Amino acid sequence: MKAVGLITEYNPLHNGHLYHLQQAKALTGADVVVTVMSGNFVQRGEPALVDKWRRAQAALNNGVDVLFELPFYYAVQPAHIFARGAIRLLAAAGVETIVFGAEHADLDFLGLAEQASKALQQASHFSDFNETYATSFNQTILAATGVRIEGPNDMLGFAYAMAIVELDLVGRINVQPIQRIRADYHSLTITDQTIASASAIREALQSKAIVELTDYLPASMGAGLVNGMQVQPWGLGWFEFLRYKVLTTPVEELAKIYQLNDGLAYRIKKIMTVTIDWATFKDAFKSKRYTWSRLQRTLLYVLMNVSDIEMREAWDEPYLRLLGTSANGRMYLKAIRDTVELPIIHRVAKADVTGRMQLDVRAGRLYQQLSEPAGQEIMQDFKRQPLFSEGD
């Protein structure tokens, strides 16, 4: 069976994603769609609008055959680590082609990645994952290839291609960019009658009833959002937990948190001692050196107490956490059972709490704790089995 791979967040799943799914199968002639999807926290360090199970169910209802969770240690990261983790998992699952949207689908992403790979390896300033990375990265790409990669989807597509080159998967995995249509990735306004960006939908959810957004969402995703976000945004329920954590932790211990480097531990401690609300803290913590996404991810690492050592050790023990399959997907998993390169996890065991899944379990517990309605925690990992859709 021929498999096409998609890398997603589905936050939320919308009509543009359905187009992506349809085009992926049509362009590759694939028998199955294998997807890796961020779990309860997305790349920017924010909680997903609804949990991974509701998003997984919507994906299975709309054409995905096999859906794996992108582990926390890959999902909540800058683009190059996010991409490398996703490609690693899809390769292990036997995917032959990765399909992604791009602002410039005519670019030879793999060719550009191969050109740029040597230059990037020689650039010693890429050893640290701080905000200077993005600017230096783009400048190095331009110098090496003569092509400026600027659009967010183009940049992510290039990161996928770079991961394929770095993981020595050229010839084993192909890439197929498709032209992004209508809504711009970062657009916060809805102008089209059927397709809106995820950013615009998230923005609209802050002020509009879900009924006004149903034209832009598959029915199953719309049903999952009928009551709005499952958890409160950062500025509401999260800040007091974060403030307590920072104020009660010695700065020497804070400095061990992943990416809380270059004086950020001292800075966050100092700011927290004089600010008592999210808006004031956010303004004080912003920096010209770091993007807000980078800083927000760091805040999540603090809240979860993720150490630098924990994060780096987790990268060495990857796995495929199965969230759901279609009937066709089950057939595919059976067919690759003897050749799949990583362990496939169907259920979380007690040993996983302190073992390879500890960061995902910790993230799930945090998401549970702050889920709405208050007092009704929805189990995220324990006693959960992969979802099953009859559709194929």
Query: Annotated binding site for ATP: which residue ranges?
Result: 7-20, 101, 153, 180-181
Q: Spell out where the chain has E strands.
A: 3-8, 32-38, 66-70, 97-102, 174-179, 320-326, 344-345, 387-389
Residue 306 C-beta-side C-alpha neighbours within 13 Å: 28
Beta strand pairing call for 97-102 and 66-70: unpaired
Contact between residue 211 and residue 228 where contact means Cβ atoms under 8 Å apart: no
Annotated binding site: 7-20, 101, 153, 180-181
Q: Exposed, middle or buried: residue 354 (CB in 10 Å: 0-12, 13-18, 19+)?
A: exposed
Q: Classify 340 in phi/psi space as left (phi over 0), alpha (psi -120 to 50) or beta.
A: beta
Which residues are within 8 A (CB) of 333 and not within 5 positions of it... i.e. 6 or more apart? 66, 322, 325, 340, 344
Return the structure tokens found at 291.
């993007």
| 387 Cβ neighbours under 8 A, 6+ residues apart | 53, 56, 57, 60, 67, 323, 324, 325
3 state SS of 349: coil
Length of the chain (residues): 392
Say which residue the tokens 């967040």 belong to.
Answer: 9
Upper half-sphere CA count for residue 196 (Cβ side, 13 Å): 22
